[in-house]
């Protein structure tokens, strides 16, 4: 019997839509992945990390941006 690790899928959800992000390193924690991508997507700095469980054979982790209004 062979046991394989479950691959992770990272998703950025913001007002522009959903974006899939590559799993840089399976040994990294989700917040480390989020911090890595924050240089490209600054809205990740304040994003909430949501573990969506297993979806279609992947461990899905969603970074949900917190949209707010100013004024």
Q: Which structural domain, as residue segments, surrounds residue 14?
A: 8-64
Each residue's pLDDT tens digit, 56-69: 989 999 999 876 55
- Which CATH number do you get for residue 42? 3.10.20
pTM across the whole model: 0.80
More confident residue, 69 or 14: 14
pLDDT at 70 (0 to 100): 53
Residue 29 lies in a domain: yes
| Length of the chain as a residue count | 71
Residue 39 lies in a domain: yes
Residue 26 lies in a domain: yes
The count of structural domains within the chain is: 1
What per-residue string of b and e applies to 32-71 under the rule 16 or more CB within 10 Å gives b?
ebbeebeeebebbeebeeeeeeeeeebbbbbbebeeeeee
Residue 3 lies in a domain: no
Residue 13 lies in a domain: yes
Residue 2 lies in a domain: no
């Amino acid at each position: 019997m062979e046991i394989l690790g479950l691959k992770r899928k990272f998703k950025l959800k913001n007002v522009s839509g959903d974006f899939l992000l590559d799993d840089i390193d399976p040994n990294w924690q989700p917040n480390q992945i989020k911090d890595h991508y924050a240089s490209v997507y600054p809205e990740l700095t304040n994003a909430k990390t949501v573990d969506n469980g297993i979806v279609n054979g992947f461990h899905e982790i969603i970074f949900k941006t917190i949209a707010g209004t100013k004024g």
